[in-house]
Amino acid sequence: MVRAAVLPAVGAPLEITDIVLPEPGPGQVRIALAAAGVCHSDLSLTNGTMRVPVPAVLGHEGAGTVLAVGEGVTHVGPGDGVVLNWAPSCGACFHCGIGEVWLCADALRGTANLHARTADGTDLHPGLNVAAFAEETVVAANCVLPAPDGIPLTDAALLGCAVLTGYGAIHHSARVREGESVVVFGIGGVGLAVLQAARIAGASRIIAVDVSPAKEELARQAGATDYVIASATTPREIRKLTGGQGTDVAVECVGRPATIRAAWESTRRGGRTTVVGIGGKDQEVTFNALEIFHWGRSLTGCVYGNSDPARDLPALADHIRAGRFDLSMMVTERIALDGIPAAFDNMIAGKGGRALVVFQ
């Protein structure tokens, strides 16, 4: 028996309860979680914006220590520190074949598997493959990456989603060049990672936009040179800060039509907008045909930072160990499992950065 956060049905309250985990079978790994980040994607699963089989154990951003491995697992062993990879690539589909592993057609196939059972025998699925909102989890071996040396596992948990996504949005999707200007909409966990990545890329001006005045100090600590309170006039304010032109790059981390549109309008002619936030399929963003031609801007989706975790984790680890990227500053609240519902409420209200469930 281990404690876990279970989503019994879409729209239902999260339940903190005991579950029964199996021992790892062939090609599986059992892990004691050190920490798990509370990500907006977890919230999107609870309200149906993203759909996976339920009931499910949520949580997808985590790190921990290997307890046991099943037959055939050789890249990690008991006692090893690991980071969870919620979107493992199959290596065989069309997208993997052309190097776009973040678009792997089979990345979420594991969500249909049976993961564990409740005390009364109800079958549970692994929300986004790894079921990190639990004291322990059992995952497929390709969902596990060796944790970088010299980084505490509680901090390394953030590498599993927020940091890879934010870093990749700047370096792989928007491809920010030294001296360019960047505006970031939404200063939660991912937004803070985007700000730090923009600073590492050498952006000359980094503008943070959020509805909360309370996040300004945190944003500036992450690398923002300017802070703007979100409003209907935000694009106009961004242009004033950039000599009337707009920024070279905008990164949207909210997933709402209004902020996607504002991010687009905040860039210069020929500017680039990367959308990281996940919105609903019924939420539409509109553009007229003339403005698409006239402005010459690009609008790009971004899945998991367009990252290859096996490639990007070592590069990120170098930045962290060198002090260029600060994981701990992203965490504004450390909680237990039963604090997750309140962390969701804070996320909806736009409060704080990353909430971190700490197990060890």
What local confidence, expressed as pLDDT, does residue 142 receive? Answer: 96
User: Which residue's structure tokens are 């209200």?
Assistant: 349
Residue 309 phi, psi dihedral angles, 5° rounding? -55, -40
Sequence-ordered list of residues with C-beta below 8 angstroms from that of 249, at least 6 positions apart, any chain: 170, 174, 176, 180, 181, 182, 183, 203, 267, 271, 272, 273, 274
Is-contact 97 89, C-beta < 8 A? Answer: no
The candidate with the shortest Cα–Cα distance to 108, out of 123, 83, 128, is 128
Q: Is 207 helix (H, G, I), strand (E, B) or coil?
A: strand
What strands lie across the sheet with 181-185, from one edge to the other?
A: 226-229, 205-210, 181-185, 247-252, 267-275, 298-301
**CB atoms closer than 10 angstroms to residue 281:** 7
Alpha-carbon Rg for the chain in angstroms: 20
What local confidence, expressed as pLDDT, does residue 97 receive? Answer: 96
* Cis peptide, bond prior to residue 55, ω within 30 of zero: yes
Model confidence, pTM:
0.95
Helix (H) or strand (E) holding 310: helix 309-321
Q: How far apart are CA 124 and CA 360, in angstroms?
A: 24
Residue 327 phi, psi dihedral angles, 5° rounding? -75, -40
What local confidence, expressed as pLDDT, does residue 27 receive? Answer: 97
What local confidence, expressed as pLDDT, does residue 141 receive? Answer: 97
Q: Which residues of the chain have pLDDT under 50?
A: none
